[in-house]
Chain A
């Protein structure tokens, strides 16, 4: 009996379709591993898997394609190797890369019959959602948290897309709460992780995503002193490697800065004033404490124990950074360390530093185990939920491949004892969705010849009947609006509009406001005679915006995640992007380091679900 007899029989005509299908799995983590097993065993013809991450010890309790010996190797490559052995008839292509890389363009997405999302972060999910809409390819979106799982089939124009329902973004805290007036353990943890650690070992705190700067202007004077404080800390950083380094850092942040804060009497009228710690006194008291107390991560450490761990981890981290510097090639950016919840040195430091600060402010201290969860945004993850969720993804994919989208459902897996699996019908797209509510088209253009003015006059105004009241933005920000005309003579390429990027045209005419138009750029080289701008399809209907129901004016009321003006001047990065970029650098950095065969390596793992806490 051939190995696929029953598959053929059960799936019927779908089976031959499956055999010849090219599919994409984005993410080779918890759900990704299970998906690959199910897809390979079901006999899909060609499976592409993309993941930029490397394997960590804490993955092994569920990501079953990986073994101990694979730690620090590419998830995508190892997954291909392990899963590929099972079925020689299936072709697996692995990409150790970021799905946001330009090589994965709309045409590439178009080459798949279906795309499975098995991701762990909001940003990448949004990106794949956008690409699948642009390429008009069905997407099966999924995620798990602990015992809960969720599967959502997405089809352009027929169902809601990932962004039709607003997603919560990670919580952030006002700068003053973190730096001057903490009142909860989490404030001290964020301070230790996003301020102290990055000032000492990483990049500046200004980029940290969990700091909220919206109230800065109300506290201008305090913000100014905080800047000075941070600058002073930078000078202390110079002393790294010396014997006095821990003492200097400690005295700076737990004595001098606290004394300064305490001096601001207005601040403490309504709060308990902080009590500075004394280095020499603690040193004497902590003399007998063995820093290996840090192995007892479920115990709440005493002040002395926190002190000992603080000093010890500070030394460990300094040594690592010094070593990295010694090995770094001249000319490259200076090496940095990044906080990683699975990197014991960084976690020890953050836990001890946070607890010392809690002591200063009379806040309850926490065990390292708890701090790890809070600092690392850890989402619990287990094999059972991932296995069930991945299998549900494939069942939904079967329905879509049979052309039975009407049978596809949004599926929820819960820990309820009543109904482990619940489903609900897919909803229609939301007309006001900031992503799929847009009109979409492809613009074929020679970006080195066409100017922004050509785009506005020849295409938008002449053909698509836009008025003057429009704005045009790229991923980086606004390049044109009625008050921003200096870019008009510039070539599109000069504005960062190139192959495989997107531009968004917003109709801001109150009377005729139509939904946003998103243009995917395709590049051609053209001679002088040819029309420099071609729209595909040549005509496109751009529906009117749904009227706002609450009567509140929505000038610029778009809820898109990224929106900052650029006028050729300095461009501020969105905090999410900033975090993601450093993340990517770090993740890729790991592999590069591995090839060099030396140097401490930071690991990162965010499995399961997006981080919302």
Chain B
């Protein structure tokens, strides 16, 4: 390579868009708007301990072109750092780690500006964190444990009152954790829903232009040549037959499953069996004949208190939300997104159809925009803050899929105080604990780890805290201390939930917790590079979601245990989601049962695209039946209520299996809606 390096650098493509070219592969995920948001961000990493995960996270943010980063880290580079941190080398020994990691990271991308802060503090001197307005420049803060609890609380409070996302992470041996604290109102317009789920054709509520086009193309259907009949866009066919249907059904459209299948039969028998457009029409009946009513969760966002009580400085999101809610109240539907799926048709017809949908979408957008402008005037919003038209347009397109995350502050474990979960979170946590490997125990172990380090701080603020297991000779005593702390947290959360856990479950929990504590102490605060890399990848991805405000971020805690295999998730109010794993078989089964239960329940309401891919058996009577019988038989056992619950589930399963053999019964829509194709994801 030596010679190669001496060659003159190759001529660059003299194209001004070389930045777009460099970022091409990611622009296809978050577009120019997401990239602009990244470039405006300034991330503060507060690094301590062995500090690898924080640096790995930054690496994954520097590469896609974050605007600025600052590393606050007062550690000096040691021999041990060199073994785990890829962004340090021999020459850095004894110097500030912040300086050198910053330099190496900056090398990865010249478009990114890196800064560092390293402090040499005498006892009593004020640390950076405690300084007034210390956090002013930063748009997102990542804190890597260990950190003094008072400092963490300070950061958490600051972030909550200034609407800044904070990430708090641990990476200790084979375990890692991160929690995300998003602002109290964190709206996401561009949630990137599955493309198949966003088609909105308004077949049950066509507008005059569409109706007219349908009539024009479908009048005298019987006299059309086979070719012309085979090229009527299926959307128009459906509109035609809907008109017939409603004429014969007292003006009622087919909404119930029964009516829809009858209607489908009517379409099927009306058309020549070989024509593709009729096939498309038949296939679309169950999916597309939906009243244009948005999900109540979306209405709740559009009508949130922030939208009702607009102020001159409200975020533009709320102005648009309010305007769209008004639109909904007036029209009984959301603005039309305007996209039309591919279908068999002559090009000219297809283009005309597209234009009809586009113009309607455009009209709806104009109405919403006018309402936004009216609101601005009424509330007295200044002209400089006028809501961007593009934002209104995008909101109109994605209105049915907007999402609002109500971020919660970090849970800070403070020495001398019990960890407060909040009664709802505590209940959720304890319920989850009944599944011994839920991840809650690992979270508790990390809280205990924080309490231990918090009570072994060597100076008042920010100096290197002592982590459990740091000194080999104290391994046993540290483990005993930390186990005591952990068990108290466990008991406290059970008490806070207002319940108790029976033996032998309680004993098993304590034993499991003991193993985790031992493992965490044994690590002595050290990181494994590979776990740091993994955690850094996941944290950086959530950071990108939080900055770009695209895609739905996790809410709000994730734990990783290398022994584990499945990712399980829970919402624990203040706590959130977990990625635990498998260890003991009973645990796995438990976790699966919960997951399947949730998933099955969810299927009754909406079908995530993954289900069709990974669990296609859920879409037939026999498949679902056998699955229920299986789940039922797993649940059975131990005591009477388990037998009862298991039997009910299994009986339902048997019922489903029986249905499979009754030919006259067709599966309901939620068994059939699944999108059959599973795309280009095979990797």
Interface residues of A (CB under 8 A from B): 1-7, 9-10, 34, 37-38, 40-42, 57-58, 60-62, 64, 67-69, 71-73, 77-78, 80-81, 85-86, 142-150, 167-168, 183-184, 269-272, 295, 297-298, 342, 344, 361-364, 372-373, 378-392, 394-395, 409, 414-423, 594, 597, 601, 607-613
Contact = CB atoms under 8 A, between A and B. Distances in A.
Interface in B12-49: 12-13, 15-18, 20-26, 28-29, 32
A414 B109 CA distance: 27
B64 A61 contact: yes
B681 A145 contact: yes
A150 B89 contact: no
Contacts of A61: 22-26, 63-65
6 contacts: A57-B18, A380-B29, A382-B26, A597-B7, A608-B683, A613-B680
A378 B25 contact: yes
A419 B566 contact: yes
Contacts of A41: 83-84, 86, 529-530
Contacts of B59: 64, 383, 387
Contacts of B130: none
Contact of A58 (B25, B524, B541, B567): B25
B252 interface: no
Contacts of B523: 6, 10
A5 B472 CA distance: 12
A81 B530 CA distance: 21
Q: B56, B533, B679: which has the most chain A beta carbons within 10 Å?
A: B533
Contact of B26 (A34, A69, A380, A388): A380
Contacts of B110: 68
Nearest to A1: B80
B87 to A, nearest CB: 9
Nearest to B29: A380
B683 A387 contact: no
A612 B682 contact: yes
Interface in B531-551: 531, 533-534, 536-538, 540-541, 544, 551
A331 to B, nearest CB: 27
Nearest to A344: B15
A6 B541 contact: no
Q: How large is the interface on B (under 10, 10 to 19, 20 to 34, 35 or more residues)?
A: 35 or more
A81 B1 contact: yes
B29 A183 contact: no
Nearest to B551: A415
A184 B528 CA distance: 51
Given A387-B537, A391-B534, A77 B22 contact: no
A298 B351 CA distance: 21
A594 B565 CA distance: 47
B568 interface: yes
B10 A383 contact: no
B528 A147 contact: no
A388 B78 contact: no
A38 B530 contact: yes
A3 B579 contact: no
Contacts of A184: 342
B80 A3 contact: yes
Given A3-B83, A62-B63, 9 more contacts: A146-B28, A344-B15, A379-B680, A380-B25, A383-B59, A395-B530, A417-B554, A417-B555, A610-B683
Given A6-B80, A387-B540, A394 B530 contact: yes
A100 to B, nearest CB: 20
Nearest to A8: B83
B403 to A, nearest CB: 10
B668 interface: no
B60 A383 contact: yes
A601 to B, nearest CB: 8
Contacts of B63: 60-62, 64, 383
A272 B348 contact: yes
Contacts of B528: 6-7, 10
A384 B533 CA distance: 9
A9 to B, nearest CB: 8
B29 A3 contact: no
B610 interface: yes
A511 B83 CA distance: 62
A610 to B, nearest CB: 7
Given A147-B541, A344-B15, A390-B533, A373 B28 contact: yes
B339 to A, nearest CB: 13
B134 to A, nearest CB: 28
Nearest to B50: A6
Contacts of B579: 419-421
A6 B20 CA distance: 42
A6 B83 contact: yes
Nearest to B19: A57
Contact of B4 (A73, A167, A379, A381): A73
Given A417-B555, A418-B569, A423-B565, A362 B231 contact: no
A510 B569 CA distance: 52
B682 A167 contact: yes
A611 B681 CA distance: 9
A34 B32 CA distance: 26
A394 B89 CA distance: 23
B526 interface: yes
A6 B526 contact: yes
A69 B5 CA distance: 8
B79 interface: yes
Contacts of A5: 80, 83, 526
B227 interface: yes
A10 B173 contact: yes
A452 to B, nearest CB: 38
Contacts of A610: 682-683
A71 B10 contact: yes
Contacts of A594: 7, 10
Contacts of A57: 12-13, 18, 21-22
A142 B29 CA distance: 20
B25 A381 contact: yes
B558 interface: yes
B497 to A, nearest CB: 23
A420 B83 CA distance: 28
Given A41-B86, A64-B63, A58 B530 contact: no
A383 B526 CA distance: 25
A395 B21 contact: no
B568 A419 contact: yes
Q: A372, A382, A423, A601: which has the most chain B beta carbons within 10 Å?
A: A382
Nearest to B569: A418
B577 interface: yes
B385 to A, nearest CB: 27
Contact of A384 (B5, B20, B526, B538): B538
B552 interface: yes
Contact of B683 (A362, A384, A609): A609
Contacts of A270: 227, 231, 346
Q: B24, B56, B541, B551: which has the most chain A beta carbons within 10 Å?
A: B24
A391 B79 contact: no
Nearest to A148: B681
B534 A387 contact: yes
Nearest to A143: B683
B379 to A, nearest CB: 34
B347 interface: yes
B270 interface: no
B283 interface: no
B567 A422 contact: yes
Q: A61, A68, A85, A409: which has the most chain B beta carbons within 10 Å?
A: A61
B9 interface: yes
A383 B1 contact: no
B108 interface: yes
B82 A3 contact: yes
Contacts of B1: 73, 77-78, 80-81
Interface in B49-89: 56, 59-60, 63-65, 78-80, 82-84, 86, 89
A24 B173 CA distance: 26
Given A168-B682, A391-B530, A417 B565 contact: no
